[in-house]
C-alpha cells in the first residue's frame, strides 16, 4: 500500500509539473492571439504591441510567482521551421579574403595564381580552403617559402622571415578559424537582436560554413541584409553629458509646446521656440546651474502621478523626458548634478525607437550641434537588462565619420592586468598608432567610444596619452565579455565576408497539414483501440483505456 501511495503522489506531482510547463504555452498563445486581434492583420502593429507589453505581468501562477510576457514567451514550447515556417540559410565565410588580408594584399604572382586555383578547386572539393591554398601554392611555386608572403610588418612576432612552411600554415589556420568564429559570433549577435524566437545557428566543423534556422521569419530581404552586412568598427570622441543636455531641455520644451498647438500654428511657434533655444544655449542656460533648473522644472510636472491621466499629461508636458531619463544624480548634499561622461540619458528597451523617432525629426535636429551623433549601448542594464544608455558621440568635423576606423586594429585579446582584473589588449598598425596617440592625447579625462554596427560596446575614460599602438580597455569585464569584445575589435583587421550559398523559405502550410493529418490519425487510431479493448476485455479493457489516457497526458 505504501508503494501504491508513493506512486500516486509521484503521479500527481508529475502531473502538476506538466501542467505548470504547458501553462506558459497556453498563456503565450492567449496573449499573441489577443495581439493579432488588436493588430487586425497588420504584422508591424502586432510586433509593436507585443514589444510594448514585454515587461508587463501576464501570468500569476497560483499567486506564488508572477511572470511577464517576455518570461512566458521564453519558456513556452517553440515550434520549428516545419511547424511555423521561416527561413533556412547556409552561409560561407570567405576564408580567401582572410588569407589575402593576412598577406597584406600581396601582389606576388605565385600567391595570386595559387589563390585563384584554390578558389576553382573549392567548388568540387570537400577539403578546407587553407589546405587547397597550400597545395596550390606548392604546385605553382615549389621553390618559394610561405614566409616570403606572410612575414609582413603587421604579422611581426607571429611570422618571421625564417619561419618554416608548417609554422606559417599553423598561423594561417589559426587566423582562418578565428575569423570564422568572429563571423559566427557577430551573426549570432545580430540574430539575437533581430528578435527571432528560438533561432538555431551552428558551425559546420572543418569548413567555413554556418547553418542558420530562423523560425517564424516572414521578411527574407531583411534577413539577407542582416546576415550579409559587414561589421563596421569605429572609435569615436564623445561629448560630456552637460554639453548636450541643455539642448535636450530645449527639445523637450519645443515638443511640449508643439503638442499643445493646433496644426495651423505649429510653424510660427516652432520658429519662436527655436530662437529661444538658440539664445538660451548662447547665454547662461548653458551653465550647469541653469541646466539643473530647467531639468528640475521639467521633472516637477510629473512627480508622483502614476494614474492614466497623469501619465498622459506627462507625455504631453515632457514628450522627450517621459521616455528618456536625463543623466542626473543626487549628490551627498541632496542636490542634483549632471553625471560625468558621455551618457545623455537612459531609456527602457521599448522606448528606444520612440526616442530615435523624436530626435530624428528635422526640426528637432536643428537644436543639436551639427557634429553630434547619438547611439545606444549594445548591452542593457538594470532589472532584467532592459534599460539602455544613449551616448553622445562627436563627429569629425561636419562629416558623419568617427575619429578612427577599426581597420587599423591588427590584434586584440583578453588579458589580466597587474591587479587581477580582466581587460582587453589591442594592437594597431603604424598609421593607427599615430592616430590613436593623437586622439588619446586630445581626450585625456574624457571617454572614447568603441562602436560596432552603430551600437556602443564600451566608452572607457582616457587616463593618459597612448603611444606605440598598444593599449588596454578595462570595464569590469567577465572573461567571456572580454573575449567577445576582443573578437569584435579584431573584426576590423581581418574582415571575413559571409555570403549566402544556400537559402530556403519554408511556409507553415506543410506543417499545418502534417499536424491536421497527424491529429486525425491519432483520434481515429485511439478510438479503434478504445473500442476494441472495451469490447474484447470488458472491465479489464476499461482499466487499460484509463491507463492509456494517463500515459498520453504525461507524454
The residues, ordered by sequence, that sit 6+ positions from 205 with a Cβ below 8 Å of its Cβ are none
Question: In the prediction, which pLDDT does 302 show?
Answer: 43
Tell me which residue has cell 585563384. Answer: 116
C-alpha cell of residue 296: 528640475
Question: In the prediction, which pLDDT does 509 show?
Answer: 61
Specify whether the CB–CB gap between 103 and 149 falls below 8 A.
yes
Query: What is the signed CA dihedral for 75, 81, 85, 91, rounded to 10 degrees?
Result: 110
Question: In the prediction, which pLDDT does 284 show?
Answer: 33
Q: What is the pLDDT of residues 84-126, one digit of tens each?
A: 778 888 888 888 888 988 898 888 999 999 999 999 998 888 8
pLDDT above 70: percentage of residues in the chain: 79
Q: CA geometry: angle at 133 spanning 132 and 135, to 5°?
A: 65
Residue 131: which pLDDT band, with cuts at 50, 70 and 90?
very high
Question: In the prediction, which pLDDT does 484 show?
Answer: 67
DSSP 507: P
Distances (CA, A) of 132 to 95, 115, 166, 224, 408: 11, 9, 15, 29, 29
Q: What is the pLDDT of residues 432-471, one digit of tens each?
A: 889 988 998 999 999 999 887 788 888 888 888 888 877 7
The residues, ordered by sequence, that sit 6+ positions from 507 with a Cβ below 8 Å of its Cβ are 85
Question: In the prediction, which pLDDT does 429 show?
Answer: 87
Taking residues 52-61, report their average pLDDT.
79
Question: In the prediction, which pLDDT does 223 show?
Answer: 79
pLDDT above 90: percentage of residues in the chain: 15
Question: In the prediction, which pLDDT does 178 show?
Answer: 84
Specify whether the CB–CB gap between 389 and 377 falls below 8 A.
yes
Q: What is the pLDDT of residues 185-213, one digit of tens each?
A: 878 876 775 666 678 888 887 777 888 88
Spans of all domains in the chain:
1-77, 88-231+498-505, 508-555
Taking residues 276-296, report their average pLDDT.
45
Q: DSSP H helical segments within 212-259, as ranges?
A: 220-228, 241-259
Specify whether the CB–CB gap between 99 and 130 falls below 8 A.
yes
On average, the pLDDT of the chain sits at 79
Distance CA 370, CA 320 (A): 20
Question: In the prediction, which pLDDT does 270 show?
Answer: 42
Q: With a cut of 50, say whether residue 287 has pLDDT above it.
A: no
Q: What is the pLDDT of residues 361-390, one digit of tens each?
A: 999 989 998 889 999 998 788 777 789 999
Distance CA 82, CA 513 (A): 10
Question: In the prediction, which pLDDT does 356 show?
Answer: 92
Residue 412: which pLDDT band, with cuts at 50, 70 and 90?
confident
Q: What is the pLDDT of residues 147-181, one digit of tens each?
A: 999 998 888 888 888 899 999 999 999 988 888 88
Q: Which residue has the higher pLDDT, 316 or 356?
A: 356
Q: Which residue has the higher pLDDT, 275 or 292?
A: 292
Question: In the prediction, which pLDDT does 262 show?
Answer: 43
Q: What is the pLDDT of residues 488-546, one digit of tens each?
A: 666 544 456 778 888 887 766 656 666 677 778 888 888 888 898 888 888 888 888 88
Amino acid at each position: 500500500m505504501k508503494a501504491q501511495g508513493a506512486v500516486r503522489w509521484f503521479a500527481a506531482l508529475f502531473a502538476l509539473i506538466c501542467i505548470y510547463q504547458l501553462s506558459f504555452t497556453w498563456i503565450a498563445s492567449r496573449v499573441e492571439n489577443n495581439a493579432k486581434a488588436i493588430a487586425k492583420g497588420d504584422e508591424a502593429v502586432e510586433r509593436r504591441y507585443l514589444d510594448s507589453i514585454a515587461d508587463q505581468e501576464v501570468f500569476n501562477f497560483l499567486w506564488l510567482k508572477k511572470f511577464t510576457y517576455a518570461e512566458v514567451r521564453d519558456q513556452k514550447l517553440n515550434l520549428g521551421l516545419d511547424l511555423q515556417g521561416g527561413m533556412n540559410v547556409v552561409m560561407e565565410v570567405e576564408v580567401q579574403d582572410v588569407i589575402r588580408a593576412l598577406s597584406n594584399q600581396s601582389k606576388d604572382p605565385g600567391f595570386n595564381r595559387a589563390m585563384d586555383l584554390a578558389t576553382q578547386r573549392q567548388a568540387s572539393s570537400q577539403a578546407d580552403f587553407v589546405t587547397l591554398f597550400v597545395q596550390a601554392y606548392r604546385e605553382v611555386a615549389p621553390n618559394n617559402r610561405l614566409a616570403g608572403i606572410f612575414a609582413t610588418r603587421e604579422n611581426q612576432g607571429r611570422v618571421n622571415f625564417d619561419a618554416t612552411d608548417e609554422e606559417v600554415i599553423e598561423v594561417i589556420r589559426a587566423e582562418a578559424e578565428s575569423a570564422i568564429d568572429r563571423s559566427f559570433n557577430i551573426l549570432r549577435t545580430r540574430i539575437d537582436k533581430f528578435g527571432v524566437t528560438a533561432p538555431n545557428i551552428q558551425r559546420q566543423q572543418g569548413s567555413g560554413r554556418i547553418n542558420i534556422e530562423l523560425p517564424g521569419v516572414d521578411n527574407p530581404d531583411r534577413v539577407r541584409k542582416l546576415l550579409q552586412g559587414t561589421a563596421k568598427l569605429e572609435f569615436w570622441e564623445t561629448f560630456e553629458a552637460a554639453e548636450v543636455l541643455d539642448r535636450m531641455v530645449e527639445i523637450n520644451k519645443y515638443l511640449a509646446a508643439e503638442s499643445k498647438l493646433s496644426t495651423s500654428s505649429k510653424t510660427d511657434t516652432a520658429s519662436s521656440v527655436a530662437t529661444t533655444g538658440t539664445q538660451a544655449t548662447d547665454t547662461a542656460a548653458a551653465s550647469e546651474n541653469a541646466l539643473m533648473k530647467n531639468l528640475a522644472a521639467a521633472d516637477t510636472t510629473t512627480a508622483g502621478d502614476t494614474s492614466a491621466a497623469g501619465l498622459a499629461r506627462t507625455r504631453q508636458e515632457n514628450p522627450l523626458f517621459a521616455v528618456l531619463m536625463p543623466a542626473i544624480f543626487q549628490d551627498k548634499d541632496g542636490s542634483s548634478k549632471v553625471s560625468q561622461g558621455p551618457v545623455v540619458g537612459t531609456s527602457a528597451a521599448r522606448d528606444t525607437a520612440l526616442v530615435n523617432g523624436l530626435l530624428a525629426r528635422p526640426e528637432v535636429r536643428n537644436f543639436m550641434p551639427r557634429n553630434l551623433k547619438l547611439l545606444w549601448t549594445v548591452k542593457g542594464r538594470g532589472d532584467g537588462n532592459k534599460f539602455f544608455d544613449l551616448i553622445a558621440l562627436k563627429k569629425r568635423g561636419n562629416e558623419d565619420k568617427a575619429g578612427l576606423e577599426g581597420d587599423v586594429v591588427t590584434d586584440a585579446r583578453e588579458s589580466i592586468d597587474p591587479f587581477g582584473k580582466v581587460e582587453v589588449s589591442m594592437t594597431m598598425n603604424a598609421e593607427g598608432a599615430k592616430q590613436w596617440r593623437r586622439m588619446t592625447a586630445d581626450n585625456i579625462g574624457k571617454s572614447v567610444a568603441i562602436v560596432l554596427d552603430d551600437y556602443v560596446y564600451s566608452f572607457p575614460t582616457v587616463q593618459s596619452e597612448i603611444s606605440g599602438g598598444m593599449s588596454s580597455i578595462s570595464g569590469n569585464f567577465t572573461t567571456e565579455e572580454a573575449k567577445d569584445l576582443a573578437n569584435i575589435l579584431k573584426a576590423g583587421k581581418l574582415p571575413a565576408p559571409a555570403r549566402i550559398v544556400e537559402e530556403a523559405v519554408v511556409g507553415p502550410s506543410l506543417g499545418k497539414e502534417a499536424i491536421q493529418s497527424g491529429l486525425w490519425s491519432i483520434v481515429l487510431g485511439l478510438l479503434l483501440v478504445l473500442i476494441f479493448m472495451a469490447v474484447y476485455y470488458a472491465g479489464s479493457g476499461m482499466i487499460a483505456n484509463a491507463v492509456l489516457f494517463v500515459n498520453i497526458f504525461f507524454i
